[in-house]
Amino acid sequence: MESELYRLFYPRGIAVVGASKNPSKIGHIVLKNILDGGYKGRVYPVNPTAESVLGLPCYPSVSSINGEVDVVIVSVPADKTIEVAEDVGRAGAQFLVVLSSGFKEVGNKELEERLVQVARKNGMRVLGPNIFGYVYTPAKLNASFGPPNLLPGKIAFITQSGALGIALMGYSIVEEIGVSSVVSVGNKADIDDADLLSFFLNDPNTQAVIMYIEGISDGRKFLDIASEFSARKPIITIKAGRTEFGAKAAASHTGSLSSGPILWEGVLRQVGALQVKDVQTAFDYARIFERNIKLPGPNVLVITNGGGAGVQATDTLAERGIRLSEPPKDYVDYLRTFLPPYASTRNPVDITGGASDEYYYLALRKALEHEEIHSILVLYCQTMTTNPMKTAEAIIKAVQETDIKKPVVAGFVGGPESKEAISYLSRAGIPAYPTPERAAEALSAIYLYSKRRSVVETRLAYLKTLYGKSQRLVETKIIGEK
Ligand code: ACO
């Protein structure tokens, strides 16, 4: 069955109300982003005072457009949005995407409610208000005033903060993380996180979701869909308002009621979501979850050319509940055939400071083939006797030759050459990070998700036996339900 939000992401036509000739106005930038992004549907600028904008004929109103319009982007001051919504209602569009600020977040709750009422009366859904727009790369659609040129990929962002969303878009370009979608939800007057999760759940272009959440209005709806989502794909949450002070700041930002940190942690754990404190960690996790690699088992092997890096990684893993066990005996025997006698063949395997690319290749290749080794963390510290790019090549060669699907994560510590090697590895499909701790933490996320997913799956199956089709997790109100 087609998702209720299908036409938001695959519109046949888009109108931009408030499209302006003035290149510094938001209505101009959004229109330019839509055109430059390569969107293939029809685009209609709407502005009663302009004849054409960016080479397209302008319409005085949406109802005067002779053509199919599924989505209307609204970039006029808040007090003009109701008349626009009424006009759009007459035109029969499905979605109003309201960029304008000046609603609930500044105490103008009535205006926001009125906007939703007009939309509902006309069978429309509202995204926003108080947003920077949205992006969906499979449809080459950038209906936002964020940066252009997003890298297409498998990660979707849902963000309640506009500024953070725009920063995330920029960061994803710098970090070379491909995105399927970025959706600014702002005040969430109508379309909310749960609605969007429902779409991304069945979206083959989305592998994982990062969410920045300040507050949830319909707790039960969120619990239901987030659980169902986590049972299939990871959710990485950056929860704002973790402290009392942050919660107050969130209230004046999007008018959200942010619940207490302990309650939140429990709720997120219950639905199987992963919680991170900052954007960097969210991206580190996203890099891991870009690929849908199943975890074959619990045994992690660490291969390193630096003892300290190995210790740091071991600590990070242990803090996240992952204990390294001794490598299998036949693997150790194999290592002994080429490693110098002073190398350590325990776990972490220290292939020594002078380790050649060949050592990395041999140690990794055999580990990939070994049934009792389930995931591998490869650490490299740049030295004058080694070359980061050559080491990266050796790692890629081992992975590609064996074609065995188990998680391999790399941590490369060093200067600009190591940074280059990190990008090279990541582009070849091996998540790589600039510190052993970040690499270890990212690997641990796969284990944590796998554990949470199986708990959620078990609970959902149990609830299904109790309530038939219903997947309700709780019968009580959890987070500030309306
Ligand atoms: N239909 C069509 N066009 C109209 C209408 C109408 N009913 N009424 C006015 N217009 C035209 C205007 O004439 C103008 O065109 P012009 O430049 O040719 O004269 C254009 O629409 C825009 O109207 P302005 O009054 O000039 O409004 P402006 O572009 O300055 O601001 C905006 C509109 C951007 C929606 C502003 O009110 C606003 O809310 N800004 C904040 C947006 C924001 O920050 N959102 C949250 C994102 S979060 C983040 O990014 C940090």
DSSP per-residue string spanning 152-169: EEEEEEEES-HHHHHHHH
Mean pLDDT of 386-409: 94
Confidence class for position 459, pLDDT limits 50, 70, 90 = confident
The more confident residue out of 468 and 362 is 362
The reply to whether ligand 1 has any atom less than 6 angstroms from the CB of 103 is no
So what's the pLDDT on residue 279? 87
Angle of CA points 39, 144, 42, to nearest 5°: 30
pLDDT-based confidence at 241, cuts 50/70/90?
low
Closest CA to ligand 1's atom 2: 47
Mark 301-321 as b/e (b = at least 16 C-beta within 10 Å).
bbbbbbeebbebbbebbeeee
pLDDT of 286: 93
pLDDT tier for residue 474 given thresholds of 50, 70 and 90: very low
**Mean pLDDT for all residues in the chain:** 91
- Which of the two residues, 36 and 296, has the higher pLDDT score? 36
Whether the CB of 349 sits within 6 Å of ligand 1? no
* Report for 35-44, 242-251, 294-303: range of highest mean pLDDT: 35-44
Q: Is the CB of 47 under 6 A from ligand 1?
A: yes
Question: 470 pLDDT exceeds 90?
Answer: no
**What local confidence, expressed as pLDDT, does residue 167 receive?**
85
Please write the tens of the pLDDT for every residue from 59-75. Answer: 999 999 999 999 999 99
Q: Is the pLDDT of residue 472 over 70?
A: no
Which residues are CB-contacts of 209 (< 8 A; sequence separation ≥ 6)? Answer: 155, 156, 157, 158, 197, 200, 229, 233, 234, 235, 236
For residue 255, the model assigns a pLDDT of 53
Q: Which atom of ligand 1 is nearest to the CA of 26?
A: 34
Q: What percent of the chain has pLDDT over 70?
A: 92
Average pLDDT over residues 325-331: 96
What pLDDT is stored for residue 252 in this prediction? 56
Q: Is 187 in the pocket of ligand 1 (CB under 6 A)?
A: no
Helices (H) and strands (E) in the chain, counts: 16, 19
Residue 110 predicted with pLDDT over 80: yes
218 pLDDT higher than 50: yes
Spatial distance between the Cα atoms of 150 and 73, rounded to a whole number of angstroms: 20
Give 480's pLDDT tier (boundaries 50, 70, 90). very low
128 lines ligand 1 (CB under 6 A): no
CB 357 within 8 A of CB 397: no
Task: State residue 246's pLDDT score.
Answer: 61
The pLDDT assigned to 163 comes to 86
Q: Which of 20, 28, 103 to mutate to test the pocket of ligand 1 (most atoms within 8 A of CB)?
A: 20
Interval between CA 71 and ligand 1 midpoint (Å): 17
Q: Categorize the per-residue pLDDT at 42 as very low, low, confident or very high, splitting at 50, 70 and 90.
A: very high
Taking a C-beta distance cutoff of 8 angstroms, is the pair 313, 440 a contact? yes
- Beta strands at 349-350 and 52-53: parallel, antiparallel or unpaired: unpaired
pLDDT of residue 385: 87
Ligand 1 atom 21, closest CA: 18
Give yes or no for residue 183 CB within 6 A of ligand 1.
no
Of 44-48, 69-73, 161-165, 320-324, the range with the lowest mean pLDDT is 161-165
31 Cβ inside 6 Å of ligand 1: no
**pLDDT (average), residues 273-279:** 91
Q: What's the N-to-C CA distance of the chain in angstroms?
A: 29
- By percentage, how much of the chain surpasses pLDDT 90? 75
Return the residue matching tokens 């994560």: 409
Q: Cβ(167)–Cβ(279) under 8 Å?
A: yes
User: Residue 95: pLDDT above 60?
Assistant: yes
Inform me whether the pLDDT recorded for 369 exceeds 70.
Answer: yes
Q: Give mean pLDDT, residues 8-35.
A: 98
